[in-house]
């Protein structure tokens, strides 16, 4: 049973920003992407924000642009849009990995990238790849615009720096440097339509035989998705070796703070962080040599 709410469907971004402009909390007014989280939650809880502002008809908010060394996704870009664009394999292979194991076809057709970020779930599958790629998000309100590194966006379990009067309008990351590679792996109880038990994404760049760029992001093993920065420093600036990869994987495991739940114990998740970080680092490094 749904609680009552107003559905607002603006045609212009300025209109949308005015509509959410008065929101002091997410209960006053919430942006609506594909609704695959929000509407499901509304039905389960019987509660709803007073108003939903749909981004579906806002011009320019859906699509993938690659220009001047930057990849930009409009906030309403769907998971299926990512899979349909062959350029994504070149500029964000980890996003393709994440999209391939994301829900089922029907959900992929409507679920947006912005909705995946803004739902704030620690198990959101596109967030580890975006962190590994070094993404930033653009937040816009009637008062102006700001760009926040995704790494600084989440503040805890389902909390972020986004104010209720702000729309996330785009997500961008630098086109990965030559001789770099990114991957994502989702450990779930099934191959399809499963909530992630552990999600790991890595990006490695190699230059003159050393790891010039290393990013390791972990999902579902903490209150929010985060980068394992101590693990990254083990390899960054160094020539990779099996010993260093093992050390980085162990550090990543130590940085993980998973809970026990119906899907897995925290101890199992921690162990899998080590296994998966080691595996993905080896795969990316081997693909570059």
Ligand X SMILES: Cc1cc2nc3c(=O)[nH]c(=O)nc-3n(C[C@H](O)[C@H](O)[C@H](O)COP(=O)(O)OP(=O)(O)OC[C@H]3O[C@@H](n4cnc5c(N)ncnc54)[C@H](O)[C@@H]3O)c2cc1C
The Cα–Cα gap between 171 and 69 comes to 14
Query: Which residue, 195 or 288, is less far from ligand X as judged by CB?
Result: 195
Least separation in angstroms between residue 182's CB and ligand X is: 17
- Provide DSSP, 128-144: HHHHHHT-EEEEEETTE
Least separation in angstroms between residue 259's CB and ligand X is: 18
Structure tokens at 197: 């038990």
Query: Which residue, 167 or 256, is less far from ligand X as judged by CB?
Result: 167
Nearest residue by C-beta to ligand X? 115
Query: Which residue, 20 or 235, is less far from ligand X as judged by CB?
Result: 20
Query: Which residue, 124 or 234, is less far from ligand X as judged by CB?
Result: 124
Query: Among residues 149, 75, 70, which one has the least CA distance to residue 116?
Result: 75
Query: 74-77: long-range contacts at Cβ-Cβ below 8 A with a sequence spacing of 24 or more?
Result: 74/169, 74/170, 75/33, 75/112, 75/113, 75/114, 75/167, 75/168, 75/169, 75/170, 75/171, 76/33, 76/112, 76/114, 77/112, 77/113, 77/114
**Which stretches of the chain bind ligand X, using CB under 6 A?**
30-38, 40, 55, 75, 102-103, 107, 111-112, 114-116, 118-119, 124-125, 167-168, 193
Least separation in angstroms between residue 12's CB and ligand X is: 15
CB 199 within 8 A of CB 220: yes
Query: Which residue, 41 or 90, is less far from ligand X as judged by CB?
Result: 41
Least separation in angstroms between residue 140's CB and ligand X is: 9
Least separation in angstroms between residue 240's CB and ligand X is: 30
């Amino acid at each position: 049973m749904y609680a009552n709410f107003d559905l607002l469907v603006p045609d212009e971004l300025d209109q949308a920003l005015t509509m959410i402009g008065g929101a002091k909390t997410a209960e006053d007014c919430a942006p609506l992407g594909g609704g695959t989280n929000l509407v499901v939650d509304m039905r389960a809880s019987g509660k709803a924000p007073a108003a939903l502002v749909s981004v579906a008809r806002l011009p320019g908010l859906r699509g993938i642009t690659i220009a001047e060394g930057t990849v930009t996704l409009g906030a309403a870009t769907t998971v299926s849009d990512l899979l349909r664009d062959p350029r994504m394999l070149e500029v964000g292979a980890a996003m393709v990995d994440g999209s391939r194991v994301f829900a089922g076809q029907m959900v992929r057709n409507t679920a947006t990238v912005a909705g995946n970020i803004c739902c704030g779930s620690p198990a959101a599958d596109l967030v580890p790849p975006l962190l590994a790629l070094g993404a930033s998000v653009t937040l816009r309100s009637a008062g102006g615009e700001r760009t926040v590194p995704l790494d600084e966006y989440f503040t805890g379990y389902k909390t972020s720096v986004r104010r209720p009067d702000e729309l996330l309008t785009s997500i961008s990351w630098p086109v990965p440097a030559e001789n770099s590679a990114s991957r994502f792996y989702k450990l779930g109880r099934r191959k399809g339509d499963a909530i992630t038990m552990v999600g790991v994404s890595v990006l490695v760049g190699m230059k003159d035989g050393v790891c010039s760029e290393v990013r390791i992001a972990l999902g579902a093993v903490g209150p929010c998705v985060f980068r394992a920065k101590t693990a990254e420093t083990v390899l960054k600036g160094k020539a990779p070796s099996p010993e260093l990869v093992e050390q980085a994987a162990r550090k990543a495991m130590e940085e993980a703070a998973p809970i026990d739940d119906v899907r897995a114990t925290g101890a199992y998740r921690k162990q899998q962080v080590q296994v998966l970080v080691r595996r993905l680092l080896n795969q990316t490094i081997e693909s570059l040599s």
